[in-house]
């Protein structure tokens, strides 16, 4: 057989470009070693299956960046079936009592892919390719029946880090550059016994190997932000997976939207990756015949049913044997297969096909063809495939077992390292958002305007002063709340992707996110309070000012916590915004400023309002017990007797501090729990 490069006519990196799992030996030299082994033969993980022998081989003497996969994985799947419950009542206020309809997305799909092979999944849109790919990557939620085994074992947590998964939509941070994206991935995904410099070096090598040198310092970009091209973005996604030298690489339509040359380059790279003893599976929509020739195996799906699963080169022979022969010479096998999967007879001429597509009554003919192909598969392909799948493995394992969760020992990097990298990455990615001129303008303009409105108000206008303090509590309740609700819903795709690859702990991500948001969350209210406090003529005492500032910052943190919790629970910005506005409106009304005679049955509302506690504390530090105000011409009354203040009851302010502290911790714990419950595994 010709080497792949010669066959495809394309020069691609040699198989050896691919990174291996890397560890440092005791004498300090760096060498490749299996990631699942926990560095001991005795600890060989069950997921290695028939790789045990591989472990027993001595590690290479020196680290070589360019080497083959050390853990070949044979992927076998048999009779994979998956159904979804259709949610027909979505958006309706009333739920129907009728049982939910189910839709079969996959129906008895089988196949086998060995190390060194590149399998392409073909089929019309909606035929179930993505669903099958996700199931094979161990990421499909719900009940899958059938068998999926990796070297004879079910999907386990160590398999997570041996699997690379490139989704159809590239989930990347838009403001990071190509190099930064790969660098952060390397810092999180490569083992802790490599130094930071060595990890960065790996990322730089990937940049070179994937031909991204020209755009290494260009930002990734997004829908409204110009960045690298679609092909370059796809290569960055592939590069992120290549960093860990996956034994199993799955890609969902890596060539969609790309020109044919770029598409060919990507498929050629995948084939080269496969030749490095990797198992590579890709879905693809419309491959050209040049691309098709690079596949070793194909799996053709038709409405979730397989109609072919086997060697790519034998497709025409097989379909010819069951009576489907192309109507004209030199037909692209992929076009031929897609026509068949759509129920279009291949023996038609192009003119016939045009006429066929124009007719409305062709559905029955199409269904008959599809049924015939499905039954031919069951009769001719399935029996031998089943025998092949069950060879060597006497006890295939049910794939429906829950994937095991990563244990402490299995993380590539320590908690603190993960926290530091995630914090740095978050600060880089969100600096445009956090330090946005618009946000600064918004806060500055409101602070100056309120300073002017309350300009040097004194105790003779105590009602106005109290109003300013209430405004502090409400403005700094709304603002952080509405900023925080976006945090988790926006980051969800990235979190799912990275956590599915076992990149970091949820707690390190969570604390990094909290810490990253802090500077700007605290700087803006500090500026606001400083400007408005002194312009508004509040008590000219540094201590009172510092107390006021601390209370506002405390309130900001509580409000931010509530926003994070609502975002994490609902994971939907629209719903979270609606709920937040209702909540803040309730807090505004029940806060104790607007209404003082609230009926008893609803008066409890103020106790759940953090704005109420904040307002009470602000008033409490502003007016001391012997403070007086001008209550009439030449008359002075005690501030504590002013109705709005008296009503608040400022006897024991420590209770209010305690209530805020409970909320501060409680909302954040709630956000974490909600986030943890929403995690895939
Ligand atoms: N969670 C879901 N809810 C509703 N329908 C779903 C869900 N998951 C899959 N489906 C349906 O299952 C079928 C298969 O979807 P899948 O995305 O696997 O197809 P595909 O072959 O990858 O399509 P495409 O090539 O267009 O990406 C589709 O009809 C899709 O609408």
**Could you give all domains of the chain from N- to C-terminal order, each with its CATH number?**
4-56 (no CATH), 72-89+99-156+248-407 (3.40.50.300), 414-677 (no CATH)
The per-residue pLDDT for 566 is 92
Ligand 1 center from residue 605 Cα (angstroms): 46
Confidence of residue 191 (pLDDT cuts 50, 70, 90): confident
- What pTM did the predictor assign? 0.76
454 C-beta neighbours (distance < 10 Å), count: 20
Ligand 1 center from residue 502 Cα (angstroms): 25
Overall average pLDDT of the 405-426 stretch: 79
Q: Give dist(CA 241, CA 249) in Å, integer.
A: 8
Q: Name beta bridge partners: 630.
A: 636
Average predicted confidence (pLDDT) for the chain: 80
Tell whether the torsion through CA atoms of 309, 10, 232 and 71 is positive or negative: positive
List Cα–Cα distances, 669 to 90, 212, 558, 583, in angstroms.
30, 42, 12, 19
Overall average pLDDT of the 274-296 stretch: 90
Which pairing describes strands 75-85 and 102-113: parallel, antiparallel, or unpaired? Answer: antiparallel
As given in the structure block, the two tokens for residue 639 are: 């501030």
Overall average pLDDT of the 258-276 stretch: 85
Overall average pLDDT of the 584-610 stretch: 81
What is the percent of the chain with per-residue pLDDT over 70, rounded to a whole number? 81
The per-residue pLDDT for 506 is 93
Angle among Cα 270, 170, 48 to the nearest 5 degrees reads: 50
For residues 665 and 565, the answer to whether their CB atoms sit within 8 Å is no
pLDDT tens for residues 12-62?
Answer: 444 344 444 444 443 333 333 333 333 333 333 344 333 333 333 333 333
651 C-beta neighbours (distance < 10 Å), count: 7
Q: Name beta bridge partners: 308.
A: 300
89 Cβ contact partners less than 8 Å away, ≥ 6 residues apart: 95, 96
Measuring from each residue's beta carbon to the nearest atom of ligand 1, which residues come in under 6 Å? 84, 105, 123, 125-131
pLDDT winner (highest mean) among 393-407, 602-616, 643-657: 602-616
Instruction: Indicate which atom in ligand 1 lies nearest the CA of residue 168.
Output: 27
b/e map 505-520, b = 16+ CB within 10 Å: beebbbbbbbebbeeb
- Does residue 408 register a pLDDT over 70? no
Nearest to 519 by CA among 443, 603, 448, 430: 430
What is the percent of the chain with per-residue pLDDT over 90, rounded to a whole number? 31
Query: Of 85-99, 307-321, 448-462, where does mean pLDDT reach its minimum?
Result: 85-99
> Which residue bears the tokens 């006890």?
395
Q: Is 156 left (phi over 0), alpha (psi -120 to 50) or beta?
A: beta
Instruction: Indicate which atom in ligand 1 lies nearest the CA of residue 133.
Output: 18
> Which residue bears the tokens 């109290």?
466
Confidence of residue 67 (pLDDT cuts 50, 70, 90): low
Overall average pLDDT of the 427-441 stretch: 82
Which pairing describes strands 118-122 and 279-283: parallel, antiparallel, or unpaired? Answer: parallel
Overall average pLDDT of the 157-175 stretch: 86
Q: Name beta bridge partners: 149.
A: 76
For residues 465 and 644, the answer to whether their CB atoms sit within 8 Å is no
Q: What is the ipTM of this complex?
A: 0.94
Give me the sheet containing 144-150, strands edge to edge: 102-113, 75-85, 144-150
Q: Closest residue (by CA) to atom 16 of ligand 1?
A: 128
Ligand 1 center from residue 131 Cα (angstroms): 6
**Which phi and psi (to 5°) does residue 149 adopt?**
-130, 150
Q: Closest residue (by CA) to atom 2 of ligand 1?
A: 84
């Amino acid at each position: 057989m010709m080497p792949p490069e010669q066959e495809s006519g394309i020069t691609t990196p040699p198989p050896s470009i691919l990174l291996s799992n890397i560890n440092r030996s005791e004498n300090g030299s760096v060498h490749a070693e299996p990631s699942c082994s926990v560095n001991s033969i005795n600890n060989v993980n069950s997921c290695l299956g028939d790789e045990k022998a591989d472990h027993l081989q001595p590690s290479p003497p020196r680290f070589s960046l360019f080497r083959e996969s050390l853990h070949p994985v044979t992927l076998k799947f048999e009779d994979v079936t998956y159904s979804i419950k259709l949610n027909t009542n979505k958006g309706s206020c009333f739920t129907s009592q009728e049982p939910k309809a189910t839709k079969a997305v996959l129906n008895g799909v089988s196949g086998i892919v060995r190390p060194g092979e590149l399998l392409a999944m073909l089929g019309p849109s909606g035929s179930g390719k993505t669903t099958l790919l996700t199931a094979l990557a161990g990421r499909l939620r719900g009940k899958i029946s059938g068998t999926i085994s990796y070297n004879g074992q079910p999907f386990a947590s160590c398999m997570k880090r041996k699997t690379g998964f490139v989704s159809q939509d590239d989930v990347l941070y838009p403001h990071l550059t190509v190099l930064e994206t790969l660098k952060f991935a390397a810092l999180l995904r490569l083992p802790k016994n490599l130094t930071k410099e060595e990890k960065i070096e790996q990322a730089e090598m990937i940049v070179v190997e994937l031909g991204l040198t020209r755009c290494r310092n260009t930002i990734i970009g997004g829908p409204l932000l110009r960045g690298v091209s679609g092909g370059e973005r796809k290569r960055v996604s592939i590069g992120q997976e290549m960093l860990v030298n996956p034994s199993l690489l799955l890609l969902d339509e890596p060539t969609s939207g790309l020109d044919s040359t770029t598409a060919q380059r990507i498929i050629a790279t995948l084939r080269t990756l496969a030749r490095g003893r990797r198992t590579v599976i890709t879905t693809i929509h419309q491959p050209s015949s040049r691309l098709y020739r690079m596949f070793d195996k194909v799996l053709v799906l038709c409405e979730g049913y397989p109609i072919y699963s086997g060697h790519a080169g034998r497709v025409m022979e097989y379909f010819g044997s069951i009576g489907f022969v192309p109507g004209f010479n030199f037909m692209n096998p992929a076009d031929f297969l897609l026509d068949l999967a759509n129920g279009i007879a291949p023996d038609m001429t192009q003119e016939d096909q045009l006429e066929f597509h124009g007719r409305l009554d062709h559905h029955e003919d199409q269904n008959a063809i599809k049924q015939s192909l499905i039954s031919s598969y069951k009769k001719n392909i399935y029996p031998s495939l089943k025998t092949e799948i069950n060879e060597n493995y006497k006890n295939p394992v049910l794939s429906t077992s829950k994937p095991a969760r990563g244990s402490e020992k299995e993380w590539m990097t320590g908690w603190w390292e993960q926290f530091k990298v995630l914090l740095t990455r978050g600060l880089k990615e969100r600096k445009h958002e956090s330090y946005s001129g618009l946000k600064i303008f918004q806060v500055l303009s409101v602070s100056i305007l309120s300073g002017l409105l309350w300009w040097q108000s004194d105790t003779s206008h105590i009602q106005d002063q109290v109003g300013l303090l209430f405004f502090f509590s409400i403005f700094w309740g709304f603002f952080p709340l509405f900023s925080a609700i976006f945090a988790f819903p926006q980051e969800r795709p990235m979190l799912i992707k990275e956590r599915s690859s076992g990149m970091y702990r949820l707690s390190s991500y969570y604390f990094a996110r909290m810490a990253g948001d802090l500077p700007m969350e605290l700087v803006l209210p500090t500026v606001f309070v400083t400007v408005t406090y002194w312009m508004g003529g509040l008590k000219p005492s540094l201590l009172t000012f510092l107390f006021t500032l601390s209370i506002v910052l405390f309130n900001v943190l509580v409000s931010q916590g509530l926003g994070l919790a609502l975002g994490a629970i609902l994971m939907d910005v629209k719903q979270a915004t609606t709920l937040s506005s209702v909540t803040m409106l309730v807090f505004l009304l029940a806060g104790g400023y607007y209404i003082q005679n609230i009926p008893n049955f609803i008066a409890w509302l103020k106790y759940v309002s953090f704005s109420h506690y904040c307002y009470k504390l602000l008033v409490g530090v502003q007016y001391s017990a012997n403070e007086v105000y001008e209550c009439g011409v030449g008359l002075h009354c005690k501030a504590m007797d002013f109705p709005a203040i008296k009503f608040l009851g400022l006897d024991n302010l420590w209770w209010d501090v305690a209530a805020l502290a409970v909320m501060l911790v409680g909302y954040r714990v709630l956000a974490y729990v909600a986030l943890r419950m929403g995690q895939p595994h």
